[in-house]
């Protein structure tokens, strides 16, 4: 593996709308991020991924872009963005933007022009088909956000267009070289501005299985999960290669692909030395309890599921490159609320999860608030949920026969709003996020869980994350933590996640992922305890006597 600057770094995802508000409108903004750069530097993060800040009607929180070349006024101006890039650079922080090119917004000029003249050049930017009421649809695929992927083209009763996500997010037609050129131009324009790269959204969707056809229905709606099409489609590599050659490679950009349904045989090409992307997210933990029918169809993830997920990711990546470690993001519930039973949730368990994410082979991505242990947002009514996907999953659960209360419970467990509530800076009004009512409710636990409190408390979760960052950057250990082999240790011991990291040094990471105490035999004597989420560590004749949720990094 060719060594790259980013291998030893720590990345942090900012959800701008909920990060920090400076102009008192209840919405986070770019000047807010600029103001916090010194803090982020002090914390130790090197790469900042910004969820979309482009112009957008915000139907899908910015993942519906109406102008790729401008900043939505709610976040600031292009000048603010230039300043953010500059100020970040001064501090040696790399900015990466979200690249959403599978689809745009139905308010984008391209789509408006396509509606005006579907047979003209912009009609070819999208997938538009003729359709008369009563006809069979070209495919029976179900969009990610529920319902058919087809909708009537505005202003045309006899035409329909394709959308993988919400109907306000028409898919761009990558088969069309003119469209591809437009996208490449835009991508290079941003790279010229000095950003270091992109997180590449939903990219697996750009290749369709053409000509469109029907698939066996998988539910009573007669539709079939869109993922099935992607299992059949081949040749996405041609586009991704072109994208890499034309845009990413000339700038040596750092790119992280959101690749969540892959054809096994093609995947090694996605990342690594010659990959289409520098890295891709390792979604094994996040996907560990997902059902195929919808959110309601999930199972509770166990510590042993997480263990399996961690080793599966490593086995998959080890000969190819480095994946990006995540256990939450803006599309998922808060990891600590999801993976630790509510009545056992405290800072020890939160530290354990953070420790695993940092010590697993891969580049750690922290989602804003993870470092202070932000938890799921409590909801009391489905109407209080903003996220579009939550509402469609609620309907799916009801249709599957769940009672409104059961459906509501499922949705509150998975809702994307859980992780989108404003950042909890301190215990003052509105959690120090804003001076006014924010766009989404603040978690009422902000008086207890907030950054200010944790920075002041030496044994806080935040300080533990800081130690993890410092350890990764400690010259003595960088090689072992970034490049060292990961070898499972006592994998058969239930609720214990343990592994070696081996390079010039040998580390043993041990997590007692349960509330009960546990004994773990050591393979050899300990040279040093590098990190411990508790004040003490009991050892009796080469056996660790771990407390519930104890997590340690040992040097052997």
Catalytic residues, which ones?
A: 201, 258
254 binds ligand TEU (CB under 6 A): no
Give the closest residue to 551 by CA, choosing from 468, 472, 486: 468
Nearest-approach distance from CB 306 to ligand TEU, in angstroms: 19
165 binds ligand TEU (CB under 6 A): yes
Distance CA 262, CA 283 (A): 12
Among 331, 386, 395, 453, binds ligand TEU (CB under 6 A): 331
Main-chain dihedrals φ then ψ at residue 252, nearest 5 degrees: 50, 45
CA 310, 312, 317, 318 torsion-angle sign:
positive
Among 20, 49, 144, 394, binds ligand TEU (CB under 6 A): 144
Among 4, 7, 8, 25, binds Ca ion (CB under 5 A): 25
Stretch that binds Ca ion, among 18-26, 52-60, 257-265, 506-514 (CB under 5 A): 18-26
Nearest-approach distance from CB 202 to ligand TEU, in angstroms: 4
Among 17, 29, 288, 314, binds Ca ion (CB under 5 A): 29
DSSP 156-186: -TTEEEE-SS-TTSPBB-TT-HHHHHHHHHH
Burial (CB < 10 A; 0-12, 13-18, 19+), residue 209, is middle
Chain centroid, CA 108 distance in Å: 25
Nearer to ligand TEU, 83 or 384 (CB): 384
CB 376 within 8 A of CB 21: no
CA 90, 93, 99, 105 torsion-angle sign:
negative
Give all strands (DSSP E) within 326-423, no chain letters: 363-367
Among 46, 60, 225, 375, binds ligand TEU (CB under 6 A): 60
Nearer to Ca ion, 20 or 295 (CB): 20
Nearer to ligand TEU, 390 or 434 (CB): 390
SS3 454: helix
CB burial of 119-155 (b: ≥16 within 10 Å; e: otherwise) equals eeebbbbbbbbebeeeeebbbbbbbbbbbbbbbebee
Nearer to Ca ion, 129 or 386 (CB): 386
Nearest-approach distance from CB 285 to ligand TEU, in angstroms: 14
417 binds Ca ion (CB under 5 A): no
Q: Which residue is nearest to Ca ion (CB)?
A: 29
Give the pair of three-digit tokens for residue 282. 């390792």
Q: List the single partner that 270 binds among ligand TEU, Ca ion, none, CB under 5 to 8 Å by kind.
A: none
Give the pair of three-digit tokens for residue 173. 């037609």
CB 399 within 8 A of CB 393: no
CB 70 within 8 A of CB 78: yes
Distance CA 21, CA 32 (A): 6
Describe the strand order of the beta sheet including 150-152 as a list of residue ranges.
128-130, 159-162, 150-152
Where helices occur in 415-536 by DSSP H, the ranges are: 451-456, 461-473, 475-483
27 binds Ca ion (CB under 5 A): yes
63 binds ligand TEU (CB under 6 A): yes
Q: List the single partner that 27 binds among Ca ion, ligand TEU, none, CB under 5 to 8 Å by kind.
A: Ca ion
Contact map string, positions 174 to 213, toward ligand TEU, x by CB under 6 A: ---------------------------xx-----------
Nearer to ligand TEU, 208 or 416 (CB): 416
Q: List the single partner that 29 binds among ligand TEU, Ca ion, none, CB under 5 to 8 Å by kind.
A: Ca ion
Nearer to Ca ion, 29 or 201 (CB): 29
Q: List the single partner that 202 binds among Ca ion, ligand TEU, none, CB under 5 to 8 Å by kind.
A: ligand TEU
301 binds Ca ion (CB under 5 A): no
Among 10, 95, 100, 530, binds ligand TEU (CB under 6 A): 100
Nearer to Ca ion, 87 or 242 (CB): 87
Among 21, 106, 201, 332, binds Ca ion (CB under 5 A): 21
- Residues of this chain that interact with ligand TEU (CB under 6 A) are 60, 63, 100, 144, 165, 201-202, 258, 260, 330-331, 389, 416
């Amino acid at each position: 593996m060719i060594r790259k600057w980013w291998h030893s770094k720590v990345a942090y995802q900012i959800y701008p709308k909920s990060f920090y508000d400076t102009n008192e409108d209840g919405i986070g903004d770019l000047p807010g991020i600029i103001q916090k750069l010194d803090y982020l530097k002090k914390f130790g993060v090197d790469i900042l991924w910004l969820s979309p800040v482009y112009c957008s009607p915000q139907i899908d929180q910015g993942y519906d872009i109406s102008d790729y070349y401008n900043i939505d006024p709610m976040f600031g101006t292009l000048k603010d963005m230039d300043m953010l890039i500059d100020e970040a650079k001064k501090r040696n922080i790399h900015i990466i933007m979200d690249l959403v090119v599978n689809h745009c917004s139905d308010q984008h000029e391209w789509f408006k022009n396509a509606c005006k003249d579907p047979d003209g050049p912009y009609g070819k930017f999208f997938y538009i088909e003729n359709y008369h009421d009563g006809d069979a649809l070209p495919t029976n695929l179900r969009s990610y956000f529920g319902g058919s992927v087809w909708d009537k083209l505005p202003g045309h009763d006899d035409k329909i267009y394709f959308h993988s996500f919400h109907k306000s997010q028409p898919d761009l037609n990558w088969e069309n070289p003119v469209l591809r050129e437009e996208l490449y131009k835009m991508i290079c324009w941003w790279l010229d501005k000095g950003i270091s790269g992109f997180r590449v959204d939903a990219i697996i969707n750009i290749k369709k299985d053409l000509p469109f056809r029907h698939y066996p229905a998988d539910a009573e709606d007669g539709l079939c999960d869109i993922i099935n099409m992607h299992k059949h489609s081949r040749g996405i590599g041609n586009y991704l290669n072109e994208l890499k050659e034309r845009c990413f490679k000339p700038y040596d950009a750092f790119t992280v692909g959101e690749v969540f349904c892959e054809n096994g045989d093609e995947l090694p090409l996605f990342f690594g030395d010659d990959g289409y992307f520098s890295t891709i997210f390792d979604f094994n933990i996040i996907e560990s309890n997902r059902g195929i029918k919808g959110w309601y169809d999930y199972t509770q993830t166990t510590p042993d599921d997480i263990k399996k997920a961690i080793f599966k990711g490593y086995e998959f990546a080890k000969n190819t490159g480095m994946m990006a470690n995540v256990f939450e993001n803006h599309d998922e519930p808060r990891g600590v609320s999801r993976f630790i039973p509510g009545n056992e949730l405290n800072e020890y368990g939160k530290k354990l999860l953070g420790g695993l994410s940092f010590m697993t082979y891969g580049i750690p991505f922290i989602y804003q608030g993870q470092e202070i242990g932000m938890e799921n947002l409590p909801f009391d009514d489905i109407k209080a949920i903003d996220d579009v996907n939550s509402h469609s999953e609620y309907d799916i659960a009801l249709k599957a026969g769940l009672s409104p209360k059961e459906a509501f419970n499922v949705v509150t467990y998975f809702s994307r709003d859980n992780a989108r509530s404003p950042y909890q800076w301190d215990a003052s009004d509105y959690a120090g996020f804003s001076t006014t009512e924010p766009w989404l409710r603040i978690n009422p636990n902000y008086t207890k869980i907030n950054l200010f409190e944790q920075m002041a408390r030496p044994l806080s979760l935040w300080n533990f994350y800081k130690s993890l960052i410092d350890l990764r950057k400690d010259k003595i250990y960088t090689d072992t933590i970034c490049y060292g082999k990961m070898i499972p240790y006592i994998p058969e011991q239930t609720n214990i996640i343990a592994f070696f990291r081996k390079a010039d040094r040998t580390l043993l990471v041990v997590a007692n992922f349960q509330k009960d105490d546990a004994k773990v035999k050591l393979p050899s004597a300990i040279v040093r305890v590098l990190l411990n989420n508790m004040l003490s560590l009991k050892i009796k004749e080469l056996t660790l006597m771990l407390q519930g949720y104890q997590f340690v990094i040992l040097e052997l």
